Amino acid sequence: MKKPKQKNLTLLKEGPRVEDKFLVNFTEAWIDAGLPPNALSNKKLRKVLESGFSKPLPCVNTLSGNYAQRLYEEKLQQLKTHIQGHNFYIVFDECDHNNEKYYAILIGRLSCEKQHKPYLVSVSKEDVCPNVHIVQQKIIVALTLLGIVDAFEKFRLFITDAAAYNICAAKALSAIYTKMLHVTCFSHMLNRISISLVEYADVNNLVSCIKKVFNKCPSRKKAWKTFNCQEERDGFPVPVVTRWGTWLKSVAFICKNWMDLIKFLENIPADQSKAAEAAHGIMQIPAVSRMVAFISALEFLTRYITVSEQGNFTTAQAVKIVDEITEKLIDLTSTGNEAAKKVLEKLEYVLEKNCGLREMAAIGRGYFTENPQDILVYSFAPCTSVNAERLFSLLNAFLSDKPFITEATMNKLIFIRYNTDFE
C-alpha cells in the first residue's frame, strides 16, 4: 500500500505581521525619544505600556538587536539613495568622554538651490590618539559603507576643526579626491580669535573674581538686581569655558556697570569674600579700566558667533561676516584700540590658514571655476561642524547605557536617532 504523499505548504510572502509593524514603529519611537534601551527593563514602566497597548513589548535585547537592526538597514538604504549621484560634503569631528575618543562622520548633499542638512554615517570609538591615518581610514570606510562609486568626482567638500592631524589628513585625501576642498570650521575660527583676548591677564582675573562673587553667594545675585537702581537690572552673564563669546559678554557687562560694581564690591566685607576684595583691587588699576573699555567694544563678535552656530549657516554668510568684522576692526584699530588690533591680526592669521574657505569664497564670487554651477553650489555649502558638535550631545543617553549594549549596537541606535527624516 502506497503511503500518501505529504502535501507541500506554500509559503506566501505577505510582509511583516501587524504585530511586527507595531513593534518596529514602537522601537523607532522609543529611540527617537532618546530613551536608552535598558529603560524598557523597568517593571513598572513596562507594565503601564503593555496594559496601554494591550500587546507584549520586546525585551531589551530584542529592541536593541532585531528591531533596531531592521530600522538601521532601512535608514542606511535611504541615506544611500539620498546621496547617490549627487555632489556631497563630509563633516568629521571628535569628542572626549571619560578619557575615550569618539569620532563622528556626517554626510550631506551639495546643490545649487539650497543647503541640505547632513546625516550621520557612523560614530566609533578609538583607544589611540587621533592621527592622520585614523582620519583617512574613517573617511574611506564611510564612503565604502555608502557604496559611493563616483566619490572621486562627487566628494567636493571636507569640513573639520583646525587640528593639525585633520589638516594633514585632508591634504592626503585631496590627492585621491582631486575635486575636494578642505575647510576648517568657521564657528571655531571666530572662537579662536576671541581666545586671543584672554591674554590680558588682569581683565581675565577680574572676570573670574566677579564670577566667584555672584556664583558662590546666590543672595548677592538678588541684591545686585536692585542695587542702586529703581528698576531690576540684568544679572552677571556667567562665562563658559570653550564658549568665548560668553567671556566677551561678561567684559561688556563689567564695562557697562563699572561704577556700580565698585560700590557693590565695597559693601561686601573682606572676611566674607576674598574674590570681592581681589576684584575691587584689580578695578583700581588704571590700565584695567582702559582694556575693559577696549574689549567691550568687541562685543559685536558675540552676535556673529551666535549666527555661525546655526545649523544652516552657509559660506556666503561667512564671507559677508568676515568682510563686516574686518571693516569694524579696522575702524576700531584706527582709534587706538589695542584689543581690536590684536583680534584683527589673529583674524588675518586664521584666514590665511583656512585656504579652503578663501577658495570657496573666490569661487562663489565667480573666480577660478570652469563650471558656473560651482558658484551656486559653494555659496550654499556649509562651512561649520556645529551639526557634529550637537550630535555628541546625543551620546550621553547612550553612553550611560554602555554596560548593557555593544559599541556596534550603540552606533546603530545613534544612527537611527539622528537620521529621523530624509529630505
pLDDT band at residue 291 using 50, 70 and 90 as cut-offs: very high
Judgement on whether residues 211 and 157 belong to the same structural domain of the protein: no
Q: Which of 298, 323, 353 is the last residue of a domain?
A: 353
Q: Which of 353, 381, 405 is the last residue of a domain?
A: 353
Judgement on whether residues 156 and 169 belong to the same structural domain of the protein: yes
Crossing angle for the helix pair 338-353 and 286-296, to the nearest 10 degrees: 50
**108: in domain:** yes
**311: in domain:** yes
Q: Which of 329, 353, 377 is the last residue of a domain?
A: 353
Residue 405 to residue 357: CA distance in whole angstroms: 40
**7: in domain:** no
Does residue 95 register a pLDDT over 80?
yes
**1: in domain:** no
Judgement on whether residues 28 and 165 belong to the same structural domain of the protein: yes
Residue 317 to residue 327: CA distance in whole angstroms: 15
Task: Match 563650471 to its residue by C-alpha cell.
Answer: 371
**9: in domain:** no
Judgement on whether residues 156 and 130 belong to the same structural domain of the protein: yes
Judgement on whether residues 385 and 241 belong to the same structural domain of the protein: no
**Alpha carbon of residue 263 to chain centroid:** 41
Q: Which residue has the higher pLDDT, 256 or 64?
A: 256
Residue 389 to residue 14: CA distance in whole angstroms: 43
- Number of structural domains (the chain) is 2
Closest CA to 105 of 156, 146, 74, 77: 146
- Residue type at 3? K
Q: Is 126 exposed, middle or buried (0-12, 13-18, 19+ CB in 10 A)?
A: middle
Judgement on whether residues 338 and 403 belong to the same structural domain of the protein: no
For the chain, give the longest Cα–Cα distance: 117
**pLDDT, tens digit, for every residue of 191-238?**
888 888 888 889 999 999 999 988 888 888 888 888 867 566 778 888
User: In 99-180, at which residue ranges do the beta strands (DSSP E only) sit?
Assistant: 100-109, 119-126, 155-160
pLDDT band at residue 353 using 50, 70 and 90 as cut-offs: confident
**11: in domain:** no
Residue 254 to residue 35: CA distance in whole angstroms: 42
**pLDDT, tens digit, for every residue of 35-47?**
777 788 888 888 8
**Mean of pLDDT values over 127-150:** 89
Judgement on whether residues 349 and 367 belong to the same structural domain of the protein: no
pLDDT band at residue 10 using 50, 70 and 90 as cut-offs: very low
Show the DSSP H helices in 284-314 as ranges: 286-296, 300-308
**10: in domain:** no
**4: in domain:** no
Find residue 100's DSSP bridge partners.
97
pLDDT band at residue 293 using 50, 70 and 90 as cut-offs: very high
Does residue 14 register a pLDDT over 50?
no
Judgement on whether residues 80 and 143 belong to the same structural domain of the protein: yes
416 and 75 in contact (C-beta within 8 Å)? yes
Q: Which domain holds residue 217?
A: 187-353
Residue 147 to residue 18: CA distance in whole angstroms: 32
- Residue type at 223? A
193 and 246 in contact (C-beta within 8 Å)? no
- pLDDT-wise least confident of 18-32, 281-295, 315-329, 399-413: 399-413
pLDDT of residue 272: 85
* Torsional class of 54: left (φ above 0), alpha (ψ -120 to 50), beta (otherwise): left
Does residue 13 register a pLDDT over 60?
no
Judgement on whether residues 422 and 340 belong to the same structural domain of the protein: no
Closest CA to 194 of 248, 258, 126: 248
- Residue type at 389? E
Judgement on whether residues 369 and 237 belong to the same structural domain of the protein: no
Judgement on whether residues 33 and 179 belong to the same structural domain of the protein: yes
* Mean pLDDT of all residues belonging to the chain: 84
Judgement on whether residues 268 and 408 belong to the same structural domain of the protein: no
The CATH number that applies at residue 379 is 3.30.420.40
